[in-house]
Amino acid sequence: GEEVAQTPKHLVRGEGQKAKLYCAPIKGHSYVFWYQQVLKNEFKFLISFQNENVFDETGMPKERFSAKCLPNSPCSLEIQATKLEDSAVYFCASSQLTRKGKSSYEQYFGPGTRLTVT
Amino acid sequence: GNSVTQMEGPVTLSEEAFLTINCTYTATGYPSLFWYVQYPGEGLQLLLKATKADDKGSNKGFEATYRKETTSFHLEKGSVQVSDSAVYFCALREGSTLGRLYFGRGTQLTVWP
């Protein structure tokens, strides 16, 4: 598609439950980024992929968070045993080299998934 | 390390007023700089960008100039409209084109008619 799609739009989980979020990047984009927006405005980088390969995972809380980008499937971000502090809006972004070869690699953001942990 | 500092809001202006939102950065290399806008309930939209020193990014009447000497990328608009009400984020990306974005904490702008 022409836009980054994220599902679901809203997700409510009880503390300790699992949460799984999905992201379909723009068609033809090879790079996917996940960000967590907490406290209304602060963005925290989680992880990035180049195709199905992890490129940068320095922001991932590895104990409970995992992510995948498999061929021909939406990318996913999974949180095992959610905690109250995981309540946030999770944004996915995708990017690709422009057709003219200019290395702009602009990141296009999806509408986000609001996760509420109760 | 890399970081972005932008002026805290909220900023409240009357329609047709002049807007400045300050943004300064710290970077280890030669970053690209961006301004993103977030309307209520929506994701981030790229507003403008600059990839090297002295570049000026512009879009929809907004402008920002990449100032390496002052490590700044201030956002300006000569005459704001009610429809400009949103949260504005300054961001940088490291030299690598595959790099993640580092965001400031956002500035809420409200424009009254």
Interface residues of B toward A, Cβ cutoff 8 Å, are 36, 42-46, 49, 51, 87, 89, 93, 97-103, 105-106
**β-strand partners of A43:** A37
Strands of the A19-24 sheet, one edge to the other: A5-7, A19-24, A75-79, A65-68
Q: What percent of chain A has pLDDT over 70?
A: 92
With CB atoms and an 8 Å threshold, state whether B44 touches A59: no
Cα of A44 to nearest chain B Cα, Å:
8
Q: What is the pLDDT of residue B29?
A: 80
Phi-psi region for residue B61, left (φ > 0), alpha (ψ -120 to 50) or beta?
A: left
Is the pLDDT assigned to residue B78 strictly greater than 60? Answer: yes
Cα of A14 to nearest chain B Cα, Å:
23
Phi-psi region for residue B71, left (φ > 0), alpha (ψ -120 to 50) or beta?
A: left
Interface test mutation site (partner A, options B30, B38, B42, B100, max chain A beta carbons within 10 A): B100
Is the pLDDT assigned to residue A40 strictly greater than 70? Answer: no
Mean of pLDDT over chain B: 93
Nearest residue, CB atoms, A105 vs list B87, B97, B102: B97
Mean pLDDT, residues B61-79 taken together: 97
How many Cα atoms are found within 13 Å in the side-chain-facing hemisphere of A99?
1
- H or E element: which one contains B90? strand B86-93
Mean pLDDT, residues A20-33 taken together: 94
Measured in degrees and rounded to the nearest 5, phi and psi for residue A107 equal: -95, 125
Among A61-75, B18-32, B89-103, the least confident range: B89-103
